[in-house]
Amino acid sequence: MARKHSLRERRLALTQASVDAGEVVFGSRAALAEWAGSHRSQITRAAEGQEIGGEAGWRVVGLAAVVTALLGIYEPEAVAGWLHGANPQLRDRRPLDVLAEGDVAAVMAAVQAARTGAYA
């Protein structure tokens, strides 16, 4: 019988995956921390299994959700470019800026528009 993972184990796995996604987008933990409004040491601890607290935690988890969705459409190399570029679905704002403000839903809607080929 398969062992069920505890909620804590699932949260830690999500946190670690979120740090990995952030490194893909920003190229370094320091840049991810700056974007998230966190200290680099908090990101490093998260990569080692500690949760990221507060708004920084929500930003990093939201980023991971968007990166995961984008990987269903684009090659990994294109994901960072999509997030850093102006997006017509977001009134020509960068998805990273919208995510930093906490509007994951708007960015996910832009991902869905990219998936279906919709234009603003």
Tokens of 111: 């991902």
Give me the chain's average pLDDT, please.
Answer: 88
**pLDDT higher than threshold 80 for residue 9:** no
Give residue-wise pLDDT tens across range 23-48.
889 999 899 999 999 999 988 888 88
Residue 71: CA count within 13 A, CB half-sphere: 10
- Specify the residue for token string 């684009």: 74
What's 33-63 look like in SS3? HHHHCCCHHHHHHHHCCCCCCHHHHHHHHHH
pTM of the model: 0.83
Q: Are 51 and 11 in contact (CB under 8 A)?
A: yes
Q: What percent of the chain has pLDDT over 90?
A: 53
Q: Are 43 and 33 in contact (CB under 8 A)?
A: yes
Distance (Å, rounded) from C-alpha 94 to C-alpha 98? 7
Domain boundaries, the chain: 8-116
Q: What percent of the chain has pLDDT over 70?
A: 92
> How many residues are present in the chain?
120
Average pLDDT over residues 64-86: 93
pLDDT for res 2 = 54
